[in-house]
Amino acid sequence: MVHDVEKNNPPREAQRRPGAVQIARVVGVPVYVNLSWILVALLIAYVFRPVVDEQVPGLGVWSFVAALGFAVLLYASVLVHEIAHVLVARKFDLPVRAITLQFLGGLSEIESEPQTPWREFAVAVVGPLTSLGISGLAALGHTAVSGPALLELALFQLAWANLLVGLFNLLPGLPLDGGRLLRAGVWAVTKQPHLGTAVAGWAGRVVAAVVLLLPWTVLARTGGSPSLLYIVWSVFLAMFMWAGSSQALMSAKIRRKLPAIHARTLARRGVPVASELPLSEAVRRAQEAHAGSLVVVGSDGRPTGLVSEAAVLATPEHRRPWISVGDVARRIEPGLVLDVRLTGEALVRAMGGTPATEYLLVEPDGRVFGVLATADVDGALART
The string of pLDDT tens digits covering residues 206-233 is 999 998 988 778 777 777 666 677 778 7
Helices 36-55/62-91 angle, 10° precision:
130
Question: Are residues 71 and 158 in contact, defined by beta-carbon separation less than 8 angstroms?
Answer: no
Confidence band, pLDDT 50/70/90 cuts, at residue 14 = very low
Is position 142 annotated in a ligand binding site?
Answer: no
Q: How confident is the model over 4-23, as a mean pLDDT?
A: 58
Do residues 180 and 174 lie in contact, with contact meaning Cβ atoms separated by under 8 Å? yes
pLDDT band (50, 70, 90) for residue 365? confident
Mean pLDDT of 81-101: 93
CA dist 294 and 274 (Å) reads: 10
Flag whether pLDDT at 367 surpasses 70. Answer: yes
Kindly report which listed range (22-36, 77-91, 174-188) carries the lowest average pLDDT score. 22-36
Greater pLDDT, 323 or 2: 323
What's the rounded Cα separation, in Å, for the pair 356 and 28?
Answer: 28
Q: In the predicted model, what is the mean pLDDT of residues 278-299?
A: 90
327 is in an annotated binding site: no
Query: Mean of the pLDDT values across residues 323-344?
Result: 92
Decide if pLDDT at 145 tops 90: no
CB 123 within 8 A of CB 179: no
Active site residues: 82
Residue pair 109/23 in contact (Cβ under 8 Å)? The answer is no
Residues 6+ apart with CB under 8 A from 127: 1, 2, 81, 82, 84, 85, 108, 169, 177
> Region 90-110: what's the mean pLDDT?
89
Q: Which of 5-9, 113-117, 144-148, 313-317 has the lowest mean pLDDT?
A: 5-9
How buried is 83 (Cβ within 10 angstroms: 0-12 exposed, 13-18 middle, 19+ buried)?
A: buried
Q: Is residue 12 over pLDDT 80?
A: no
pLDDT of residue 384: 57
pLDDT for res 147 = 74
Predicted confidence at residue 7, as pLDDT, reads 39
What residues contact 76, with CB distance under 8 A and at least 6 apart?
none
Q: Is 177 annotated as a binding residue?
A: yes
* The pLDDT value given to residue 9: 38
pLDDT for the residue 209: 94
The answer to whether 304 and 321 have CB atoms below 8 angstroms apart is no
Question: Quick check: 338 and 359 in contact, CB under 8 A?
Answer: yes
How buried is residue 174: exposed, middle or buried, by Cβ count under 10 Å (0-12/13-18/19+)?
Answer: buried
> What's the whole-number average pLDDT of the chain?
88
Position 65, amino acid: V
Give residue 10's pLDDT: 38
